[in-house]
């Protein structure tokens, strides 16, 4: 999944250590002309949850905010500082759906970009199969407009608004059929 978006260095011109001018050091780093500080711009960690109930339905959310407002999504989001990906996916599911994650099993990861506040954030999205209490009361919170259970045979990847989630749904469905 190769992205054609330009590297985020174009938005950074000054060293966070001394305020000097940044110049390209190599394709992965900038270097300060004054103090020599080298900064590597690495992707942010994000998580995505696949939650399937006993009726073989996938928990799907509708996005309440941009980017891709109004399109389908899966619960998930950015990891916080000092938080593992497993803790991050559990927190995001709780924040967005009100459901507590009982188990999170890592499936795969995908690179992605996410436009936030006009800035293109590069991410590495970790996808998990999560288990929640089957009797949990589902309700939309945070940046989710609604939550719903969709029968697996009616899940359409093209209805998901974010690139990595769309590709992740494709992979998840393909693995289920294999």
pLDDT of residue 4: 45
Q: Which domain holds residue 125?
A: 44-177
Per-residue pLDDT of the chain (178 residues; tens, 9 = 90+): 444 456 677 778 899 999 999 998 888 889 999 999 999 989 999 999 999 999 999 999 999 999 999 999 999 999 999 999 999 999 999 999 999 999 999 999 999 988 888 888 899 999 999 999 988 889 999 999 999 999 999 999 999 999 999 999 999 999 987 7
pLDDT of residue 120: 84
Q: For every residue of 62-76, which 3-state class applies, written as one string?
A: EECCCCCCCCEECCE
Task: Give the CATH number, domain containing residue 77.
Answer: 3.90.79.10
For residues 109 and 46, is the Cβ–Cβ distance under 8 A?
A: no
140 and 110 in one domain? Answer: yes
Residues 49/139, Cβ–Cβ less than 8 Å: no
Q: Is residue 54 part of a domain?
A: yes
The two three-digit tokens of residue 167, written as one number: 């590709």
**Structural domains of the chain, count:** 2
Note whether 59 and 130 are same-domain residues: yes
C-alpha 171/C-alpha 56 separation (Å) is 17
**Contact, 152 vs 113, CB < 8 A?**
no
What pLDDT shows up at residue 5? 53
Same domain? 34 vs 48: no
**Does residue 160 share a domain with residue 89?**
yes
Same domain, 104 and 23: no
Contact (CB, 8 A) for 59 and 149: yes
- Cβ contacts of residue 95 below 8 Å, gap of 6+? 77, 141, 142
Does residue 51 have a cis bond before it (omega within 30 degrees)? no
Residue 46: phi and psi, rounded to 5, are: -140, 160
For residue 133, being part of any structural domain is answered with yes
Tokens of 157: 């990847």
Both 26 and 49 in a single domain?
no
Backbone angles phi, psi at 33, to 5 degrees: -70, -30
Query: Is position 1 within any domain?
Result: no
Residue 3 lies inside a defined structural domain of this protein:
no
CA distance 22 to 30: 6
> Distance (Å, rounded) from C-alpha 127 to C-alpha 98?
19
Q: For residue 134, tell me if it sits in a domain.
A: yes
Do both 12 and 49 map to the same domain?
no
Q: 31 and 113: one domain?
A: no
Quote the pLDDT of residue 1.
42
């Amino acid at each position: 999944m190769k992205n054609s978006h330009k590297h985020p260095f174009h938005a950074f011109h000054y060293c966070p250590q001394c305020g000097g001018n940044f110049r390209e050091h190599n394709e992965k780093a900038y270097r300060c002309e004054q103090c020599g500080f080298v900064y590597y711009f690495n992707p942010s960690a994000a998580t995505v949850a696949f939650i399937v109930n006993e009726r073989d339905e996938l928990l799907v959310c509708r996005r309440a905010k941009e980017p891709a407002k109004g399109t389908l999504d899966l619960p998930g989001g950015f990891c916080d500082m000092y938080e593992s990906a497993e803790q991050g996916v559990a927190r995001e599911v709780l924040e967005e759906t009100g459901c507590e994650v009982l188990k999170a099993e890592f499936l795969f990861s995908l690179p992605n970009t996410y436009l936030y506040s006009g800035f293109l954030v590069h991410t590495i999205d970790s996808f998990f199969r999560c288990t929640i209490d089957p009797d949990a009361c589902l309700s939309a919170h945070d940046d989710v407009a609604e939550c719903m259970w969709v029968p697996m045979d009616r899940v359409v990847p093209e209805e998901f608004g974010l690139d990595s989630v769309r590709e992740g749904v494709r992979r998840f469905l393909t693995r289920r059929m294999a």
